[in-house]
Amino acid sequence: MRGMDEIRDEAAHTSPEAPAATVAAGRAAQELGLRRSEFELAVHLGLIAVAAGPGGGRPRVPEREVARLREDPGFPDGLAERVRTVGTAEGAALLGIAAARFTRLARAGCVSPVTFYLNRYRAVVWLYLADELASFAVREPELLAGRTPLGMRTMLEAGADRRARNWRTQRIERLLDRTGDPWARAAVEATALDPAHLAEVVEDPYERAYLARVRPEPVFGRPGSVAARETMGELMLADEPDEILWRRINLTLGLDHARGVRPAPHPGDDHEARTAPAPSSARPHALSPALSPAPRLAPPRPLPVVESATLPSPPAEHRPTGVRKPGRKRLLTRLGWGRRSGG
């Protein structure tokens, strides 16, 4: 099977003058034997390439992409299985463990949810890819039986729950994978910060407004209901000190890079010359050196439960290479962290 980079680049270069070469998302889902929710998840996961609709309308699917997927030896069951999601009870049954143990594994971050829905009580119900759970069972069989490791027990007894954190991390990574424009990438990083943290990192209100304007969304937008949109807005925000710090650092690095490529527009600027982002289908490796993605720090590993608010230095393997690294004290002060460490 061809690589996803090749598939996406091919879809990105589909001629806009050939409308017959694409089909509507609903028709593509039908031809691929997927429910609409499964189809949208497949697009989100990068399993199905899409092209921008005419005049910025809803995305469409290249006919050759539909043909490629239909020609796969595993069609139609293979694609449907790759996007099959399960809840806690079904996921536990799939792994052959009790639902309570599955929940503990999910809260500890061993398995990550890919999406969610709200039940009738407006409580979040996490859903997991069945394919990923099967891989986890093969990779970590010792976690499915016997006593829970001490470190994990300590985390859980302290109330740790990494489900939302892992969900937003994967979501942000997939959105970043869809754009090479430096301001759009910085805007994705900014989605994990609440307004107060964002204002501390991005002091210029015009830059904050620009980040909001160029922020990429999932291909098919946010959930339809008001309650689901509000819940997603809450789940998107980093809520642990180490994650907030890492998000602030990545946004700072992204902003420095974006400002070096072009400034954010201010009143009276030539918007055409200075503000147009690169096409969202552009892949980072295909960009000119000036538009190469900014270095990023990987999300921090789970930290041990400690009473002190002092954070350790980033592991060496998580530090970006090829860039001048500001001193830790100066960077934390710039991010506003130093002012909080004493409180």
Find where tokens 């290479």 sit. 321
Q: What is the pLDDT of residues 257-316, one digit of tens each?
A: 999 999 999 987 765 444 555 444 433 333 344 456 666 776 665 544 333 333 344 444
Percent of the chain whose predicted confidence (pLDDT) is above 70: 71
39-53, 163-177, 188-202, 314-328: lowest mean pLDDT where? 314-328
DSSP one-letter string for 235-252: HTS--SHHHHHHHHHHHH
Q: What is the pLDDT of residue 55?
A: 72
pTM above 0.85, yes or no: no
Q: What is the pLDDT of residue 221?
A: 62
- DSSP conformation class of 180: -
3-state secondary structure string across 271-295: HHHHCCCCCCCCCHHHCCHHHCCCC
What average pLDDT does range 119-128 have in this prediction? 94
Give yes or no for residue 227 having a pLDDT over 80. Answer: yes
Round the average pLDDT of the chain to a whole number and report it: 80
- DSSP conformation class of 51: B
Q: What is the pLDDT of residue 10?
A: 52
Q: What is the pLDDT of residues 181-226, one digit of tens each?
A: 999 999 999 999 999 999 999 999 999 999 999 998 887 766 668 8
Q: What is the pLDDT of residue 32?
A: 96
